[in-house]
């Protein structure tokens, strides 16, 4: 998996910082997560191919998480996109996007498929043979979901030396990868485990922004490899966490620890702080493996 | 007047170019004209004080002219703006903005006053003692207006040497500026013209984007000092002008010439051309005083 942070600052776009948006490259899918104003320019700056984006996940309808969506949809149209585009987000998103298309008399040539979310329970919203995506209901001022991206267990890998030693027909390789025993050229049964290696452990990534401190979500994100958790404030502004339903770096780290995740990435920083390293300093004593998101930063895991 | 081009390229925001938006500084008003995606960042980059913007004029509801508006309105709220904001634009604008405020449960603390336009005739939409603003109905694929900004005739200026010679009380200066004759300290009537100078000639600026070639508007923009006229294409792509209802540089120059304007500024360039100087080359043989808009460029007149 490769995660590219397009924007990770809260509230308003500024000269050198962008509101929330990220791209997750997972098993040949390019998932766009949130789409603040300016996302399409950030996609260009980070040389991400527009046509590879087929699924967009919107956490909630605060502007810093979706005001760039209508422009991106419109740009896809101007680029003569033909591929379907799936959009997952809170109810209301379809109305606001289609109203703007109606007013501009600019309908997309490609198919725009809205998957409007209303459930307060986690649900499976995307699945194919390689990946599944679940919502993570979050506690915020408006209806909000995080998203959990899980790779499925992949195919077994051929141990080529063993395969050649056993003299197995190429036509059987596919079956081997799928875990079956096969016959070799001499007509002998070859046990799958003797010529294949187990698949790589499937990875998982949880995106949690925006949210108040909330232990309810821990069971959903338990043991994920990487957790992006918002840390809008530092503990010294804990009162603002309460009123705005955001988290501090310490709270994010506490969730990471309790959920036993592999790595924590912080983001959604309030622009009141000049130095984002303070967020890391606050989180590290509670959860050691913590990184700071920043616009343009890439995480591979 | 001082005109700052925030963005002047058509269609989509790109890494180094922005969709339409400009700021007109006219007699202490700061008018924002159109508001494509990214306008708020362009305002910051050009160090324009957000709080000075009290009137926003939107030509039409194609995204490259207004997708930045909802974000700007939202940022004004986050900046704790208290001043009224007047927005002039096509019917539908209020619905799309208020829908987005409703969905985010983020209502402005300041007063948002929509002046929705529907007339196909030119109308006076703003007036105070210094400035008036008229719509310029344009021919485009959707309902579109340009805007004509006219300074009113200012006050007369005191000819200080003459005023001192005549020994006139300071209390009368205001009346002198307003054109009245006054008494001097000796009780003699002093003719206004003998101690004052005529006011500066009022300037005018016409913004015409987006529009097909259309001579109907010539009477409305006759003799303006500065005309911004879109030139999306070059003549070699005249067929695209027809189908998309845009203008070529040559057509813009022809309008400038027929309307006898003082200066022509071209903009709204299609991104298919690598070199915008081609627009100037095409326009110049028809209308000599032509300039090219570019993002961040400032025109003073």
Percent of chain B whose pLDDT exceeds 70: 100
User: Which residues of chain B neighbour A78 with C-beta distances below 8 Å?
Assistant: 11-12
pLDDT in tens, A250-299: 999 999 999 999 999 999 999 999 999 999 999 999 999 999 999 999 99
Confidence (pLDDT) at B101: 97
User: Which residues of chain A neighbour B96 with C-beta distances below 8 Å?
Assistant: 96, 99-100, 103
Confidence (pLDDT) at A259: 98
Q: How far is B4 from chain A (nearest CA, A)?
A: 17
pLDDT in tens, B25-81: 999 999 999 999 999 999 999 999 999 999 999 999 999 999 999 999 999 999 999
B70–A71 C-beta distance less than 8 A: no
Q: What is the mean pLDDT of residues A44-61?
A: 97
pTM (two decimals): 0.93
What's the whole-number average pLDDT of chain B? 97
C-alpha distances out from residue A14 to A7, A8, B72, Å: 11, 12, 11
Confidence (pLDDT) at B131: 98
Q: Does B142 touch chain A (CB under 8 A)?
A: yes
What's the whole-number average pLDDT of chain A? 97
- Single out the catalytic residue among A34, A64, A210, A295: A64
Confidence (pLDDT) at A54: 98
A104–B13 C-beta distance less than 8 A: no
Confidence (pLDDT) at B254: 98
Q: Does B109 touch chain A (CB under 8 A)?
A: no
Q: How far is B160 from chain A (nearest CA, A)?
A: 47
Which of B37, B78, B103 lies nearest to residue A92, judging by beta carbons? B103
Tokens of B104: 């985010």
Q: How far is A119 from chain B (nearest CA, A)?
A: 17
- Long-range contacts of range A160-166, CB-CB < 8 Å, 24 or more positions apart? A162/A194, A162/A195, A163/A195, A166/A190, A166/A194, A166/A195
Among A residues 54-73, those touching chain B with beta carbons less than 8 Å apart:
61-63, 67-68, 70-71
Confidence (pLDDT) at B246: 98
Could you tell me which chain B residue has the CA closest to the CA of A79? B12
pLDDT in tens, B148-176: 999 999 999 999 999 999 999 999 999 99
Q: Measured between alpha carbons, how far is A197 from A23 in angstroms, rounded to an integer?
A: 31
C-alpha distances out from residue B52 to A114, B56, B147, Å: 39, 11, 20
pLDDT in tens, A117-176: 999 999 999 999 999 999 999 999 999 999 999 999 999 999 999 999 999 999 999 999
Can you name the residues that pair with A228 across neighbouring β-strands? A207, A265
Q: How far is B140 from chain A (nearest CA, A)?
A: 11
- To 5 degrees, how large is the angle CA B134–CA B52–CA B229? 40
Tokens of B73: 């309105």
Neighbour tally for B169: CB within 10 Å? 10
pLDDT in tens, A226-236: 999 999 999 99
A62–B67 C-beta distance less than 8 A: no
C-alpha distances out from residue A161 to A167, A180, A194, Å: 10, 18, 11
Tokens of B284: 């110049």
Strands B85-90 and B112-117, how do they pair?
parallel
B248 contacts B282 by C-beta, under 8 angstroms: yes
Confidence (pLDDT) at B202: 96
Q: Which helix (H) or strand (E) holds B2?
A: strand B2-7
A104–B15 C-beta distance less than 8 A: no
Confidence (pLDDT) at B50: 97
Neighbour tally for A161: CB within 10 Å? 9
Confidence (pLDDT) at A147: 98
Second-level CATH architecture of A2-154+200-300: 4-Layer Sandwich (3.60)
Confidence (pLDDT) at B31: 98
Which of B37, B96, B141 lies nearest to residue A68, judging by beta carbons? B37
A75–B15 C-beta distance less than 8 A: no
B220 contacts B120 by C-beta, under 8 angstroms: no
A104–B99 C-beta distance less than 8 A: no
Identify the three-state secondary structure at position B265.
strand
Confidence (pLDDT) at A77: 96
Domain residue ranges in chain B = 2-154+200-300, 157-197
User: Which residues of chain B neighbour A7 with C-beta distances below 8 Å?
Assistant: none
B41–A63 C-beta distance less than 8 A: no
Q: Does B191 touch chain A (CB under 8 A)?
A: no
Could you tell me which chain B residue has the CA closest to the CA of A270? B78
C-alpha distances out from residue B39 to A3, A54, A72, A103, Å: 28, 27, 16, 20
User: Which residues of chain A neighbour B71 with C-beta distances below 8 Å?
Assistant: 12-13, 37, 63, 67
The interface predicted TM-score (ipTM) is 0.92
- The residues of B assigned a catalytic role are 64
Percent of chain B whose pLDDT exceeds 90: 99
B20 contacts B32 by C-beta, under 8 angstroms: no
């Amino acid at each position: 998996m490769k995660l590219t942070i397009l924007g990770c600052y809260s509230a308003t776009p500024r000269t050198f910082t962008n509101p929330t948006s990220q791209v997750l490259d997972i098993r040949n899918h390019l998932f766009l997560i949130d789409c603040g104003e300016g996302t399409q320019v950030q996609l260009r700056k980070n040389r991400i191919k527009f046509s590879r984006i087929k699924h967009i996940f919107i956490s909630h309808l605060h502007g810093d998480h979706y005001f760039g969506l209508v422009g991106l949809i419109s740009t896809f149209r101007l680029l003569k996109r033909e591929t379907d585009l799936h959009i997952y987000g809170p109810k209301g998103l379809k109305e606001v996007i289609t109203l703007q298309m109606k007013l501009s008399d600019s309908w997309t040539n490609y198919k725009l498929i809205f998957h409007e979310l209303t459930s307060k329970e986690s649900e499976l919203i995307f699945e194919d043979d390689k990946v599944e995506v679940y919502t993570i209901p979050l506690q915020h001022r408006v209806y909000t979901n995080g998203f959990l991206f899980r790779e499925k267990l992949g195919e077994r890998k051929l141990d080529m030396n063993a395969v050649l030693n056993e003299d197995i027909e190429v036509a059987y390789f596919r079956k081997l990868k799928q875990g079956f025993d096969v016959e070799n050229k001499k007509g002998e049964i070859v046990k799958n485990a003797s010529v294949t290696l187990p698949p790589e452990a499937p990875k998982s990534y949880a995106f949690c922004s925006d949210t108040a401190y909330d232990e309810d979500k821990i069971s959903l994100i338990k043991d994920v490899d990487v957790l992006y958790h918002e840390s809008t404030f530092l503990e010294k502004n804990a009162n603002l966490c309460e009123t705005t339903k955001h988290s501090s770096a310490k709270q994010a780290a506490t969730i990471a620890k309790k959920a036993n995740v592999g790595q924590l990435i912080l983001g959604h920083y309030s622009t009141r702080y000049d130095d984002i390293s303070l967020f890391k300093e606050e989180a590290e004593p509670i959860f050691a493996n913590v990184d700071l998101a920043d616009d343009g930063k890439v995480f591979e895991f």
